[in-house]
């Protein structure tokens, strides 16, 4: 599957759930932790710890109109074995699920919830998954997050990686190339934070 299709499906997640996104994203939300190893303009190399995600998938031919966002929202609203309400966080990660034609959407579990034990989902097609720790090349950009802007961002990121001799992890799956959205759709484009992340091969030399 090419990245154009992945990004088109990822963008449709947001379009299909725009009301929920407008309603849910507050100021001061928790953001997934990472350490910046290197920074150059819009580009960074980051190290992420292991993250726990509440995730669901949609088949590409459904174009994201299966209510994926709301499935995850119901989970954090109490559709879990503990009936626990879990705070919304950022970013929302999107990427291809390894070995399938499906695209994954994932909410990052708050650090406190991840450390104390993530409750098992009771809702349909919601799973708890680990996002493995690792090093990522990242590009940050504003404006709309859609297939064109994400694909253009990935191209620029790969060009920058070449100049730094950074090697992508080619194992595929959601851990390979991801897009990430941080803001509600009503946020002015020039204020939005969008990212494309590419997991780096573990044999990539350490950045000073």
**Mean pLDDT in residue range 85-114:** 86
Separation between Cα atoms, residue 107 and residue 95, nearest integer Å: 12
pLDDT 10s digits, 122-174: 988 999 999 999 999 999 999 988 878 988 999 999 999 999 999 999 775 44
Q: Which helix (H) or strand (E) holds 140?
A: strand 134-141
**Mean pLDDT in residue range 177-199:** 90
Q: Residue 23: helix, strand or coil by DSSP? A: helix
Contact (CB, 8 A) for 97 and 173: yes
* 3-199: CATH topology: Multidrug-efflux Transporter 1 Regulator Bmrr; Chain A (3.20.80)
What's the whole-number average pLDDT of the chain?
82
Specify the pLDDT at position 62.
Answer: 44
Domain ranges of the chain: 3-199
Of residues 193 and 98, which shows the higher confidence score?
Answer: 193
Separation between Cα atoms, residue 27 and residue 110, nearest integer Å: 15
Specify the pLDDT at position 36.
Answer: 98
Share of the chain above pLDDT 70, in %: 75
Specify the pLDDT at position 59.
Answer: 67
Of residues 19 and 34, which shows the higher confidence score?
Answer: 34
Q: Rounded to 10 degrees, what is the CA torsion of 48, 54, 185, 20?
A: -160
Residues 6+ apart with CB under 8 A from 199: 134, 135, 136, 168, 169, 175, 176, 177, 178
Peptide bond into 91 cis (omega under 30): yes
Give ∠ CA 179-185-188 in degrees, rounded to 5: 105
Specify the pLDDT at position 176.
Answer: 79
Separation between Cα atoms, residue 82 and residue 73, nearest integer Å: 15
Separation between Cα atoms, residue 9 and residue 13, nearest integer Å: 7
Q: Reply yes or no on whether the pLDDT at 116 is more than 50.
A: yes
Q: Count CB neighbours of 181 within 10 A.
A: 24
Give the CA count within 13 Å in the CB-facing half-sphere of 79: 14
Q: Which helix (H) or strand (E) holds 134?
A: strand 134-141
User: For residue 205, what pLDDT band results from cuts at 50, 70 and 90?
Assistant: low
Least confident of 91-105, 107-121, 123-137, 155-169: 91-105
């Amino acid at each position: 599957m090419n990245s154009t299709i992945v990004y088109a499906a990822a963008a449709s997640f947001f379009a299909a759930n725009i009301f929920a996104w407008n309603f849910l994203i507050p100021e001061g939300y928790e953001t997934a932790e990472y350490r910046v190893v290197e920074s150059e303009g819009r580009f960074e190399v980051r190290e992420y710890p292991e993250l726990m995600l509440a995730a669901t998938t949609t088949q590409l031919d459904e174009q994201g109109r299966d209510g994926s966002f709301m499935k995850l929202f119901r989970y954090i609203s109490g559709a879990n074995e503990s009936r626990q309400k879990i705070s919304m966080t950022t970013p929302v990660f999107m990427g291809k699920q390894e070995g399938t034609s499906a695209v994954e959407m994932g909410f990052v579990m708050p650090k406190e919830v991840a450390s104390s034990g993530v409750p098992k989902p009771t809702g349909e097609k919601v799973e708890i998954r680990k996002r493995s720790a690792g090093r990522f090349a990242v590009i940050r950009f504003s404006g709309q997050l859609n297939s064109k802007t994400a694909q253009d961002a990935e191209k620029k990121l790969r060009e920058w990686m070449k100049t730094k001799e950074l090697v992508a992890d080619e194992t595929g799956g959601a851990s390979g190339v991801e897009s990430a959205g941080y803001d509600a759709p009503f946020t002015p484009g020039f204020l939005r934070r969008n990212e494309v992340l590419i997991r780096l091969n573990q044999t990539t030399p350490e950045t000073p």
